[in-house]
Amino acid sequence: PLPSLLQTETLAVSSPRPPPPPAAMDDAHVIQGISWSDMVAHMERGGMDRGMVYFGYNLILHYVYSYLPDPPVSPAAALSLSAAPSPNDGVDRISRLPDAVLRDIVSRLPAKDAARTAALASRWRPLWRSAPLTLADSHLLPDGGAGGQLVIGAASPRAVTAAVSRVLAAHPGPFRCVHLTRTTMEEHRGEMARWLDILAAKGVQELVFVNRPLPIDLRLPATIFSCASLTRLHLGIWRLPDTAAVPRAARFPNLRDLGLYWNSMEDRDLDFMLERSPVLESLFILGFQSGLRLRLVNQSLRCIQLGFSFAEDIDLVDAPRLERLFQFAELTESPKMNNGRSTRKRSSVIKIGSAPKLRVLGYLKPGEQELVDPTLICMCRCAVSINNAIV
């Protein structure tokens, strides 16, 4: 029966594993552009325990989970009951509703509850498979994800991973929204690749896909570029595919909202994603595993937000619809190390070429940004109060 696809009540998450032995510490895992061995050596020279690296990874996860969009459904949502009393005559009026209405109801339930509707009556049995599915793997945990994020070193919730695989294989699609944020992808590379193949083939509208490190530079399969039905895409803690090997015809024709969280990518990879998203309106970047250089030639973007990023250069070459460019918690030091020491970054340059609708530009810190506006024929080093308006 369909509800059995989602049985994970017997799941037991093991206690955190001890730190890896010293031999494993030499693997070239990357955090903010720093190799694992350089990070450990840097911390040991400062008298800190290498276990603090795990704290750093958990801190990254904390920020990523904090900024991710919430699933559109929740297992803890309260039911809204009508004030008018219903007649106590035993008549099943809900089942008399048209199929389209019932499918809409089922699509607004968490996946586990949606599958359980098949047990209500024969009238409901086919609805789960015909309704657009919303699936969040955190809802498959025994506490529905109420316990918060899973920490580094904790065992991957294998029962949840297996349940996700069964649901994606059994449901014909389309998928209204899929949040996959609780699996250690390194341990499940085969499942990860199959999930993306299924989502691309059956159609997914909204996808939130996060790799729980370690390692945080795990390569995201290029299949992601086959998900042409996407309208919203948020990716966390991946090394993005080498776009030089991606077919030039790949594109996101319906994508309007793109979020990138602590990913490792080349400038050309970001340019490729923007070029292949002709209706993209919102770009959110949280963290960046190297210096960020953004050269924007885009006819649809309206809002860009950059947080916890090391922004080197931002060049608004041609952005006719851009209204807001917002930076917060900007890093003041390069993520890359020079002989174990982080290097002070130069002032970042924000160059405004063509952005006639730009109305919001911030936050600007004195001495840390250079604002270049050819229409003013000048370069303004921001040594003025951030309370001053810049138009």
Residue type, 281: E
Long-range CB pairs of 73-80 (<8 Å, 24+ gap) are 73/108, 73/109, 73/110, 73/134, 73/136, 73/139, 73/177, 74/110, 74/139, 75/110, 75/112, 75/113, 75/139, 75/144, 75/145, 76/144, 76/146
**In whole angstroms, what is the distance from residue 358 CA to residue 296 CA?**
13
- Region 220-240: mean pLDDT is 94
| Sequence-ordered list of residues with C-beta below 8 angstroms from that of 389, at least 6 positions apart, any chain | none
- Region 73-77: mean pLDDT is 78
pLDDT of 5 > 60? The answer is no
pLDDT of 390 > 50? The answer is no
- Region 30-58: mean pLDDT is 67
| Three-state DSSP string of the chain | CHHHHHCCCCCCCCCCCCCCCHHHHHCCCEECCEEHHHHHHHHHHCCCCCCHHHHHHHHHHHHHHHHCCCCCCCCCCCCCCCCCCCCCCCCCCHHHCCHHHHHHHHHCCCHHHHHHHHHCCCCCCCHHHHCCEEEEHHHHCCCCCCCCCCCCCCCCCHHHHHHHHHHHHHCCCCEEEEEECCCCHHHHHHHHHHHHHHHHHHCEEEEEEECCCCCCCCECCHHHHHCCCCCEEEEECCECCCHHHCCCCCCCCCCCEEEEECCECCHHHHHHHHHCCCCCCEEEEECCCCCEEEEEECCCCCEEEEECCCEEEEEEEECCCCCEEEEECCCCEEEEEECCEEEECCCEEEEECCCCCCCEEECCCCCCEEEEECCCCEEEECCCCCCCCCC
State the pLDDT confidence band at 39, using cuts at 50, 70 and 90.
Answer: low
**In whole angstroms, what is the distance from residue 145 CA to residue 362 CA?**
35
pLDDT of 295 > 70? The answer is yes
| pLDDT for position 354 | 93
pTM for the model stands at 0.79
pLDDT of 239 > 80? The answer is yes
Q: Is residue 251 part of a domain?
A: no
| pLDDT for position 34 | 55
- Region 218-226: mean pLDDT is 92
Q: Is residue 174 part of a domain?
A: no
Q: Which residue has the higher pLDDT, 173 or 44?
A: 173
- Region 276-295: mean pLDDT is 87
As for how many domains the chain has, the answer is: 1
Backbone torsions φ then ψ of 358, nearest 5 degrees = -65, 120
Q: Is residue 385 part of a domain?
A: no
State the pLDDT confidence band at 175, using cuts at 50, 70 and 90.
Answer: very high
Q: Is residue 159 part of a domain?
A: no
Placement of tokens 């206690």 in the chain: 15
**In whole angstroms, what is the distance from residue 217 CA to residue 203 CA?**
27
| Measured CA distances, 52 to 44, 59, 290 (Å) | 10, 11, 22
| pLDDT for position 283 | 97
| pLDDT for position 119 | 78
- Region 289-302: mean pLDDT is 85
The encoded tokens of residue 381 equal: 């080093």
Question: How many C-beta atoms lie closer than 10 Å to residue 193's C-beta?
Answer: 13
| pLDDT for position 254 | 97
Q: Is residue 179 part of a domain?
A: no
State the pLDDT confidence band at 124, using cuts at 50, 70 and 90.
Answer: confident
Q: Is residue 71 part of a domain?
A: no
Q: Which residue has the higher pLDDT, 150 or 19?
A: 150
State the pLDDT confidence band at 215, using cuts at 50, 70 and 90.
Answer: low
pLDDT of 273 > 80? The answer is yes
| Three-state DSSP string of 29-58 | CEECCEEHHHHHHHHHHCCCCCCHHHHHHH
- Maximum pairwise Cα distance, the chain: 79
**Across 14-23, 97-106, 113-122, 359-368, least confident range:** 14-23
Write out pLDDT tens, residues 311-337.
Answer: 678 899 999 999 999 988 766 554 444
State the pLDDT confidence band at 338, using cuts at 50, 70 and 90.
Answer: very low
**In whole angstroms, what is the distance from residue 360 CA to residue 264 CA?**
28
The encoded tokens of residue 303 equal: 């809002």
Write out pLDDT tens, residues 360-382.
Answer: 988 777 666 677 765 543 333 33
pLDDT of 155 > 60? The answer is no
By C-alpha distance, which of 96, 112, 114 is closest to 104? 114
| pLDDT for position 225 | 94
The range of the structural domain enclosing residue 104 comes to 96-131
State the pLDDT confidence band at 38, using cuts at 50, 70 and 90.
Answer: low
| pLDDT for position 331 | 61
Q: Is residue 271 part of a domain?
A: no
Mean pLDDT of the chain, nearest integer? 77
Q: Is residue 369 part of a domain?
A: no
